[in-house]
Structure 1
Amino acid sequence: MAEEPIPTTQAIALVSAPAPYVLAIDIGSGSTRGCLYDAYARPIKKHLVKAEHAFIEAADGTAEVDADQIVSEVGEVIDGALKGIDPGLVKAVVMDTFASSLVCVDADGDALTACITYADSRSSEHLAKLRSQLDEDEVHQRTGTRLHTSYHPPRLLWLQDEFPELFAKTAKFLSLGEYVYAKLAGIEGAATSTMAWAGILNRHTCELDEELLAAVGVDRSRFAPVVDPSEPITDVSPEALRRWPALEGAAWFPAVPDGYASNIGVGASTPSVAAMSAATSGAIRVIVDGTPDVLPTGLWAYRVSKTQSIVGGALNDVGRVTLWLQSTLAPLTYEQIDEVFRAAPAEGTPLVLPFLTGERATGWAGDARAVLTGVSSASGPRELWRGAVEGIAISYARVFEQLLEVAPGIRSVIASGGVTSAYPGFMHPVAQALGFPVEVVQVKRVTMRGAAALALSVLQAEHPLATIPQTSLAEPDAGQRDYYDDLRRRFESVYDGVIAK
């Protein structure tokens, strides 16, 4: 008898969805979502629930969200996603969240602060202090992260100096996912990847970095135990089971960062496949065995388990650049923009360094700002769009070049995200800059699907997951190589003269 074909990722009705089911929850920057997935990691129709929220932002660098609001939202989306589901069918609960986040919690488990998000920069002065005290290269090699306001070390110093009473009352420093799980299900435990994304995990030992904690004056006991993805938690509070009898016997997987879930969601879970995201921000990431002995200076490496790491680099501004162009300098129709992206390169195109909100990989110039040069009287909206996409493409190429040092066996690059949906031709210049084919896929709610797939890989390791249809393939043209090599040289020259001072 012929084997049944593996289905695609298209949503399926409950009546046709094979068990076991996984409840996946995604806490993003603008919303909380929950959805049931079947044994193939396909979303189940009419079991998707969404609640919106927004960061609270201020001119002093504040970027936070009400942690208890998120707890309430998650409870509500679980209520909706489980409606009509009988006990015993849902075998796992899994969550992904934006990374990294910090909530100060008192001895009773209540939040003393809002959730401080990755975008909060109020600890910038304490970042400078840390950089003067520590060898950043050594920290980078131990933890896989640079010293940055996105990570815990400068935040902990800032809290200690600016809010000493609050700091003293803090019994635990939790991520947002940990806090939600503790409140809703009485669960304690932080995923390996969550602690890595916080910038405090030693990537070689998979334990918190004692040297870094000592530098910021925080004892390891004030953090939750580190839990590997293969070790889900089944001991949950009676209150959780009374509220959600459908979750009786389910394994709860500690929350993981959205970047990790995104890789798994597009099928980039081996060292031969890199995932490229193109949304408001962007990244290229690859999951590798172990961790690199020596990490290139422009990349980060987050341990995701005792056996694997995710290595890559991020761009602050991808979709943000397109939104800015469309609303300010160069409004064009989507059809016109697509024509620009698919066109052959032209001499005289303005050179753009696309750092509207600073640079992350590879130079980590957080205070960098965009540069636009080579503009002439012949430069119109089309030329500005072309220069911008070429600048983004070169930024991706700089990350990819270092990524190949870590994972020389990369055979495929899979791109996804809102920008690839809005601008189908966007990846053509990117493929030229990389000198590497880029497959574009469209997967709805990719991070939440990735979280579900992560849980299923533990529950039923041998069961296949739904296949992801390729939408398009952007291939490099050898005839454009000289142009992009020259563009890279010009980009680096301007970068060295303006940014890397």
Structure 2
Amino acid sequence: MQAIIGVDIGTTGARTVIHRTDGTLLASQSQDYPLYTPNPAWAEQEPEEIFQAVMSVTEKALLQAKLPPDRIAGLCFGSVFHSFIPIDRDGNALCRMMNWADSRSQLYTERLKSEQDAKAIYMRTGCPLHPMYMPSKILWFKHERPDLFRRTYKFVSIKEYIMYRFLKQYIVDRSIASGSGMYNIHALEWDQELLAVLGISGDMFSRVVPTTHVTEEIAPEVAARLGLPPDLKVVVGAGDGVLSSIGAGAINPGQLTAMIGTSGAVRLVTDKPTVDEKLRTWCYNLTDKYWVAGGAINNGGIAFRWMRDKFAETEQRVAEKMGLDAYQLLSTYAEKVPAGSDGLILLPFFAGERAPYWNANARGVLFGLNLNHDKRHMIRATLEGVTYRMFSIYQALDQVAGPVNEIRVSGSFTRSKLWVQIMADVFGKMISVPGEPEGSAFGATILGMHALGILKDIKEVGGFINIKERYYPSAENHSRYQELFSIYERIYWNLQSEFAAIAKIQRG
């Protein structure tokens, strides 16, 4: 039986899986890479470090699977959205990559909003104006790094950078392109009006191809290192977010996916580009037949990590001695606090925020603190605050893309039973947790099988997915959370001028 390689280039790490075409997992390898934050609002990474991590995990996965080369039907790529790398004519990165969390271009976002029709841009591209997307990053680079801008041959994502090393050609899938903020999702081309506004040519971007596009030639040095045939079929693939929906088996109408990893996202698959009159959600391509409407938050697991690192050093040492994950121990602390954290509310805007309000100036707020609260309350309030963010996107999607009849979850937060239960209680809906295989890397595997003709439709992923757990909401907790969520929303809207003022001070 043939096998498919799925490669997932994530925010903070790469993962490669190898599945047989019946879904059996043969190998899985992952490796982290650094995130550099030398200045406030900066989030950078080294493209070469990421490329080497991808090569390393793929090499290890192939060794683990112990398959002869003729048993491998192909390889499919998945990748994080919203990365930005200027490169020269020799394919060298001119600076570190900016990832989605980099908001240094906020002032240029504000300039675009004041000088252009922001809603018209959103309606064409499916992407609200925000520092996460390419338009404001390009403006920042053009004005703040003019010498490097003049040397720039192309603007690429990390996926294009790595695929160039694999394929020696500049191509980008329609999924990553649609998540750039530069692509017209209706005309299916780089947006001509935005190109004119930015004063650049469409030649500075890669050729756009469908997510199911297949090539049959990889670079000799890559083939030699990995032990793969030089004519291996490579499927260009899609962005990790939309692949996560495939990996969860949530392809049918009304099936919503909610993922919390480092960041978080809520998504629904649609059969056409779907945008929101209120500009709350984005829309990215999945295949020629499917699109994904959704919203993402900057502050998912990263907020829980902040709580662990800043307030739980002792607990980390205790967990290590007990052979536990520190997050497990912190979750047991939070379980001892009632739903709603006795009125303590956290707005977890540590890295600004994306959907549904797209406010890069937003900052973290701990509200309602009194002498009764302790570390346990702060931990639970963190989990609840992140879940409130996810719920706000769920509300928007329910209005924009149709009613939700099932919620499937994925990401590292599913390791905390308490956190998944909090989501069920906040949403007031049953939550389903898929078992293995799942995730973006498996989504890449399924898309690869579809592109290679092994599966007729990606909806066939349902045959590979089983639900291992279901969580049911508490009516009492849901009522309490609805009351607190209303307060949470009012706090946010009442602090708009203060968010802008403090962000200006923090940016220096």
Q: Name the TM tier (shorter chain).
A: 0.7 to 0.9
Residue aligned with 1:57, SS: coil
Aligned to 1:468: 465
Q: 1:487 to 1:92 in 2, by over 3 A?
A: same
Aligned to 1:5: none
Deviates more, 1:482-491 or 1:260-269: 482-491
Unmatched 5+ residue regions in structure 1?
A: 1-17
1:317-365 CA distances to partner (integer Å, 9 max, x unpaired)? 2323323334445787846734745976369422322222222211222
| 8 Å Cα contact 2:219/2:230 also seen in 1 | no
Letter of the aligned partner of 2:426 in structure 1? A
Aligned to 2:125: 143
Aligned to 1:428: 421
Aligned to 2:165: 183
Aligned to 2:443: 450
1:109-136 CA distances to partner (integer Å, 9 max, x unpaired)? 3333333322223323322222221122
- 1:285-296 aligned at under 5 Å gives the runs 285-292=267-274, 294-296=276-278
Aligned to 2:97: 115
Q: 1:312 to 1:341 in 2, by over 3 A?
A: farther
Deviation at 1:54, TM superposition (A): 1.0
1:196-237 CA distances to partner (integer Å, 9 max, x unpaired)? 111111122222111112111111122111111232222445
Letter of the aligned partner of 1:318 in structure 2? G
Aligned to 1:74: 54
Residue aligned with 2:386, SS: helix
Q: 1:363 to 1:500 in 2, by over 3 A?
A: farther
Q: 1:395 to 1:50 in 2, by over 3 A?
A: closer
| 8 Å Cα contact 2:427/2:478 also seen in 1 | no
Deviation at 1:295, TM superposition (A): 4.7
| 8 Å Cα contact 1:177/1:254 also seen in 2 | no
Residue aligned with 1:415, SS: strand
Deviates more, 1:48-57 or 1:259-268: 48-57
Deviation at 1:402, TM superposition (A): 0.8
Q: 1:378 to 1:169 in 2, by over 3 A?
A: closer
Counterpart of 1:353 (choices 344, 347, 363) is 347
Unmatched 5+ residue regions in structure 2?
A: 316-325, 499-508
Deviates more, 1:181-190 or 1:150-159: 181-190
**CA distance in 2 between partners of 1:344 and 1:42 (Å):** 41
Taking only the aligned residue pairs, the percentage that are identical comes to 25
Aligned to 1:15: none
Deviation at 1:307, TM superposition (A): 2.8
Aligned to 1:100: 82
Aligned to 1:63: 43
**CA distance in 2 between partners of 1:451 and 1:375 (Å):** 44
Deviates more, 1:271-280 or 1:238-247: 238-247
Under a length normalisation based on structure 1, what TM-score does the superposition of the two structures give?
A: 0.87
**CA distance in 1 between partners of 2:440 and 2:52 (Å):** 21
Aligned to 1:204: 186
| 8 Å Cα contact 1:187/1:235 also seen in 2 | no
Residue aligned with 1:473, SS: strand
Aligned to 1:7: none
| 8 Å Cα contact 1:419/1:426 also seen in 2 | yes
| 8 Å Cα contact 2:23/2:464 also seen in 1 | no
Letter of the aligned partner of 1:418 in structure 2? S
Residue aligned with 1:56, SS: coil
| 8 Å Cα contact 2:212/2:237 also seen in 1 | no
Residue aligned with 2:284, SS: strand
Counterpart of 1:367 (choices 361, 372, 375) is 361
| 8 Å Cα contact 2:259/2:265 also seen in 1 | yes
Greater helix share, 1 or 2?
A: 2
Counterpart of 1:397 (choices 391, 415, 431) is 391
Q: 1:236 to 1:462 in 2, by over 3 A?
A: same
Residue aligned with 2:418, SS: coil
**CA distance in 1 between partners of 2:398 and 2:292 (Å):** 13
1:440-487 CA distances to partner (integer Å, 9 max, x unpaired)? 235477221111111112221249546334342222233444323322
Residue aligned with 1:190, SS: strand
Under a length normalisation based on structure 2, what TM-score does the superposition of the two structures give?
A: 0.86
Residue aligned with 1:311, SS: strand
**CA distance in 1 between partners of 2:330 and 2:49 (Å):** 42
| 8 Å Cα contact 1:186/1:237 also seen in 2 | yes
**CA distance in 2 between partners of 1:120 and 1:408 (Å):** 32
The reply to whether residue 438 of structure 1 matches residue 418 of structure 2 is no
Q: 1:164 to 1:318 in 2, by over 3 A?
A: closer
| 8 Å Cα contact 1:287/1:311 also seen in 2 | yes
Deviation at 1:49, TM superposition (A): 4.0
Deviates more, 1:83-92 or 1:398-407: 83-92
Aligned to 1:495: 492
Residue aligned with 1:439, SS: strand
| 8 Å Cα contact 1:178/1:255 also seen in 2 | no
**CA distance in 1 between partners of 2:140 and 2:337 (Å):** 49
Counterpart of 2:295 (choices 305, 313, 319) is 313
Counterpart of 1:406 (choices 400, 404, 409) is 400
1:34-75 CA distances to partner (integer Å, 9 max, x unpaired)? 332210333214xx4444421232115443222233333333
Deviates more, 1:371-380 or 1:69-78: 69-78
